[in-house]
Amino acid sequence: MSPGYVVRLITVLSISKSMDIREYLFDILLTVVMIVSTLVLINRFWQDLTIAIAAGLMMLSLGGLFLSLQVKMRHLERSIVIRERILRNNLEDVSSRMAEKYDMAITHLDELVGEYSKRMYR
């Protein structure tokens, strides 16, 4: 994961107008716990700061990946809801137009039947 990607992810998370921080608070907390526990675990077992920092960065990128996936899933969910609403509106519009055409056709047929009936009774 490149540094530009992490900055872009943080920018997307901070700029996103539809994002409510309370929705992601639990994920952020779990990411922090994951990083701290990884640092403590690695630092405790091997006493090597380089490995501990590398493992912490790895867990940070994994947590960022999870957050990024959640943001994308919510965006996809909202997109699906919007498309469903558009389709429903279009179907209602088509249904009303078909009902109007049906009524016009029935009216026209009634007029034709009435006209032919008048001709036959003359």
Q: What is the pLDDT of residues 25-78, one digit of tens each?
A: 777 787 778 777 777 777 666 667 777 777 778 877 887 888 888 888 888 999
pLDDT value at position 87?
93
| Predicted TM-score (pTM) of this structure | 0.52
Confidence of residue 19 (pLDDT cuts 50, 70, 90): low
Domain that holds residue 78: 3-120
pLDDT value at position 3?
53
Backbone φ/ψ region at 76: left (φ over 0), alpha (ψ -120 to 50), beta: alpha
**How far, in Å, CA of 27 to CA of 69, rounded?**
11
Q: Is the pLDDT of residue 89 over 90?
A: yes
Determine what percent of the chain is predicted with pLDDT higher than 70: 79
pLDDT value at position 109?
92
Q: Is the pLDDT of residue 16 over 90?
A: no
Q: Is the pLDDT of residue 113 over 60?
A: yes
Q: Are 43 and 52 in contact (CB under 8 A)?
A: yes
Q: How many domains does the chain have?
A: 1
- Residue count of the chain, please give it: 122
The residue-averaged pLDDT of 87-108 equals 93
* Nearest CA among 18, 40, 20 for reference residue 28: 20
The residue-averaged pLDDT of 81-104 equals 93
Q: Are 38 and 59 in contact (CB under 8 A)?
A: yes
